[in-house]
Amino acid sequence: MHMYKDGNCLVIAEGRFQTRIEPWGPDSLRVRAFSQLPADPNDWALTEKMPDPEAVISFEETDTTDPWYKGPEYAKYHRTGIQGTLSNGRITARVSTEGWISFYNEKGHLLTQEYWRTRDRINRYCCSLRITGRELKPIPGVDDYELTARFEAFEDEKIFGMGQYQEKNLDKKGEILELSHRNSQSSVPFYVSSRGYGFLWNNPGIGTVSFGRNRTEWHMPSTRKMDYYITAGDTPAMIEEHYSLATGRTPMMPEYGMGYWQCKLRYRTQDELLKVAREYKKRGLPLDAIVVDFFHWTRQGDFRFEPRDWPDPEAMVKELKSLGVETVVSVWPTVDEKSVNHAEMEEKGMLVTADRGAQNTMTWMGNTEFFDATSPDAQHFVWEQCRQNYYAKGIRCFWLDEAEPEYGPYDYDNYRYSKGPVMQCGNIYPVGYAKGFYDGLRAAGEKEIMSLVRCAWAGSQKYAVLTWSGDIYSSFRSMREQLQAGLSMGMAGIPWWTSDIGGFLGGNIQDPDFRELLVRWFEWGAFCPVFRMHGERSPWYEKEEEFIGDVRQITSGQDNEVWSFGEDNYRILTKYLFLREKLRPYIRTLMQAAHDTGAPVMRPLFYDFPEDQKAWETEDCYMFGPDLLVAPVMEKGALNRSVYLPAGTRWTDAHTGRTFEGGQTITADAPLDVIPLFYREGRDPGLA
């Protein structure tokens, strides 16, 4: 093994195996390892141009002689080795004589280091296990590799981010996470550590990560290289700012995104949707967006309105605009084998292919294949259909559903994109899906862009992605899981996030228990980045089967408007509609900060109070921007709840006006119409 300087890189070379460490923006480094040249050129999430680096690289000869040889025969057994160092602002990488890497901040504190169990005598890691920090094992017969990267575990470390997983823990320490997308799961492999660094696993392949007590281990069954990014910062805010600079910042949110969105399983016709929008305005209720959801088309892959049920969408959009309501239209990536576009897309290689068996990748409501969102040609083709059939009629906001995509089944090893096998690049799909619409809208002259997308990966945010948490169940447990999902997405660099208020699956609108859940979720939704009602709502309307041609028409769920759940609840829901409107100026500042610095809109308490150890341990409430603490009620029948108020400021209860010293846990009253809210003393965001 030998080390050398190559321009601005520190290179560790051993035969064909080469590791390159280089500066990548302020206080940040990128580390890549590969076993064949030319190296895989994909930058994946790290596509942004970085400022010119100011790396300092040095090498030092070190005595590596075993201590027990330092006797009379010292000269006979004397050995030396080279250690390397690369510094970039607040972060330094040190490379041992055996080639393993440690990362330090500007104060000399260890951030993290590779897990290395061999005979590195100078660092006293004398061990016969022969386990290394990075392994690229060739897969026989092909030029692909199995990758394992290992890092030391630290008892005091907490890990936040990694995207959206349907489980209860905000701190991911001790967890095993699948690095893949599913309906309601978004793998966004960036985390912020309580030790003062951020880490991006810059590989969109399918794999796993284990944040174990004995070591952290990233594993990819099939890939071409190892690639990660690490950044140091004095605060979580600084880390997020560095990371968003490297992967791209979200645009400024359009004004309609900050208000209230009305949606249900499916508005069946143009008249039905217009009646709902008119009713909101008749009642004097705020409404910023309404959604034309799935199966408004004839066949999947037609990318256009079914003319029988939607006879004049241009007039519909025009009327909604006059009411101050944005029209949002659902697009699916599925292309039915009988679609008007299938033959051309298949002939031109624009569809996802299967390596074995039937080419159909989903069979719900038709035999369909997904379009290949990693292909620029396919991106352009799909956008062109939507430009002609939606954009030309006034549609400016799209709901990009099924964005994982939702394979049935999730046999990742069977599918292939133009970018490569899904095992090697599958998690990039939602990025390409959103990029196609973002590029198309920009080319059409749009400056305010927003797409509601059911999945995201690192870098999705720069394509104006609003991610939601998928088809989740209607229960308090699910609501609790969405809280950590939203906070985790924010810490992973995706600042625009929402969930289906009330949950998607289930939820009988006549059931008192569901009505309680919906009210609690609606109250919380008013303090999420986007405030959006959705859900299938049971029981479905049961009508005799209906067809247009040979295509069965999907039914619709029960009513899902704010007046659908009883008069008492209606009064509560409208209270929060108007409260959201009062907060709009404050929310506008949060969206500007997300655009300028990458700051999450909703974030854990420690983001704004990093010196408070208790804030790092609190998972059941959060900050909505820097001034407002939100404590959702997430238990059936609860009429109060405990709330931790971070130290360093006084807090005012937005409902009672009482003021409390920070650094204590209080019990807050929470009758059905109250979500506990506290703002920093003297910094009311608009609740008074």
- Chain centre to alpha carbon of residue 543: 38
Which member of 404, 500, 516, 536 is catalytic?
404
Smallest CA-to-CA distance from 638 within 472, 473, 520 is with 520
Pair type for strands 226-232 and 2-6: unpaired
Using 50, 70 and 90 to split pLDDT, how confident is the model at 125?
Answer: low
What gap in Å lies between CA 428 and CA 44, rounded to an integer?
8
**Helices marked H in 283-405 — which ranges?**
313-322, 342-347, 376-389
- Rg over CA atoms, the chain: 27
Give per-residue pLDDT as tens, 164-176.
999 999 999 999 9
Smallest CA-to-CA distance from 94 within 107, 85, 104 is with 85
Indicate if the pLDDT at residue 357 is higher than 50. yes
Q: Which residue has the higher pLDDT, 72 or 609?
A: 609
Under DSSP, is residue 621 helix (H, G, I), strand (E, B) or coil?
A: coil
What gap in Å lies between CA 209 and CA 527, rounded to an integer?
31
Give per-residue pLDDT as tens, 374-404.
999 999 999 999 999 999 999 999 999 999 9
Structure confidence at residue 544 (pLDDT): 63
Taking the CA of residue 394 as centre, how many other CA atoms within 13 Å lie in the half-sphere pointing to its CB? 14
Told to judge if 355 belongs to the known catalytic residues of this protein, a careful annotator would answer no
Structure confidence at residue 143 (pLDDT): 85
Domains in the chain: ranges and CATH: 2-247 (2.60.40.1760), 255-597 (3.20.20.80), 604-680 (2.60.40.1180)
Smallest CA-to-CA distance from 303 within 272, 268, 334 is with 334
Residue carrying the six token digits 């906001």: 397
Number of Cβ atoms within 10 Å of the Cβ of 651: 22
Structure confidence at residue 119 (pLDDT): 64
The dihedrals phi and psi of 335, each to the nearest 5 degrees, come to -125, 110
What gap in Å lies between CA 595 and CA 241, rounded to an integer?
10
Contacts of 393 (CB under 8 A, 6+ apart): 313, 314, 317
What gap in Å lies between CA 427 and CA 439, rounded to an integer?
20
What gap in Å lies between CA 503 and CA 29, rounded to an integer?
40
Which member of 240, 288, 336, 401 is catalytic?
401
Angle at 483 between CA 477 and CA 489, to 5 degrees: 135
Number of H-type helices and E-type strands within the chain: 13, 43
- Chain centre to alpha carbon of residue 126: 41
Asked if 650 contacts 660 with a C-beta cutoff of 8 angstroms, the reply is yes
Give per-residue pLDDT as tens, 249-285.
999 999 999 999 999 999 999 999 999 999 999 999 9
Percent of all residues in the chain with a pLDDT value above 90, rounded to a whole number? 88
Integer angstrom CA distances of residue 24 from 27, 69, 151: 8, 42, 20
Q: Which residue has the higher pLDDT, 70 or 130?
A: 130
Told to judge if 234 belongs to the known catalytic residues of this protein, a careful annotator would answer no
Under DSSP, is residue 126 helix (H, G, I), strand (E, B) or coil?
A: strand
Told to judge if 404 belongs to the known catalytic residues of this protein, a careful annotator would answer yes
What gap in Å lies between CA 58 and CA 445, rounded to an integer?
49
Q: E strands, 255-349, where?
A: 260-262, 289-292, 326-331, 334-336
What gap in Å lies between CA 495 and CA 462, rounded to an integer?
10
Structure confidence at residue 122 (pLDDT): 47
Please give the mean pLDDT across all residues of the chain.
94
Residue carrying the six token digits 């594993």: 219
What gap in Å lies between CA 464 and CA 399, rounded to an integer?
12
Using 50, 70 and 90 to split pLDDT, how confident is the model at 1?
Answer: confident
Number of Cβ atoms within 10 Å of the Cβ of 121: 18
Amino acid at 185: Q
Give per-residue pLDDT as tens, 551-574.
887 778 899 999 999 999 999 999
Lowest mean pLDDT among 15-24, 30-39, 65-74, 320-329: 65-74
Structure confidence at residue 75 (pLDDT): 59
* DSSP element (H, E) containing 22: strand 17-23
Smallest CA-to-CA distance from 584 within 654, 485, 687, 480 is with 687
Give per-residue pLDDT as tens, 642-683.
999 999 999 999 999 999 999 999 999 999 999 999 999 999
Give per-residue pLDDT as tens, 507-520.
999 999 999 999 99
Asked if 450 contacts 490 with a C-beta cutoff of 8 angstroms, the reply is no
Contacts of 127 (CB under 8 A, 6+ apart): 117, 118, 119
SS (H, E, C) 545-575: CCEECCEECCCCCCCCCCCCCCHHHHHHHHH
Integer angstrom CA distances of residue 38 from 6, 19, 42: 16, 13, 12
Structure confidence at residue 541 (pLDDT): 60
Considering only the C-alpha atoms of the chain, give the largest distance between any 2 of them, rounded to a whole number of Å. Answer: 98
Structure confidence at residue 280 (pLDDT): 98
Give per-residue pLDDT as tens, 141-157.
888 999 999 999 999 99
Which member of 319, 471, 511, 513 is catalytic?
471
What gap in Å lies between CA 248 and CA 463, rounded to an integer?
9
Contacts of 395 (CB under 8 A, 6+ apart): 313, 317, 327, 328, 329, 386
Residue carrying the six token digits 């939702």: 406
Give per-residue pLDDT as tens, 177-224.
999 999 999 999 999 999 999 999 999 999 999 999 999 999 999 999
Peptide bond before residue 539 is cis, with ω within 30 degrees of 0: yes
Give per-residue pLDDT as tens, 312-331.
999 999 999 999 999 999 99
Give per-residue pLDDT as tens, 89-111.
999 999 999 999 999 999 999 99
Calculate mean pLDDT across residues 282-307: 96
Q: E strands, 77-214, where?
A: 80-88, 91-95, 101-105, 110-113, 117-120, 125-131, 134-138, 145-152, 159-164, 176-179, 186-193, 197-201, 207-211
Calculate mean pLDDT across residues 10-37: 95
Pair type for strands 334-336 and 353-354: unpaired
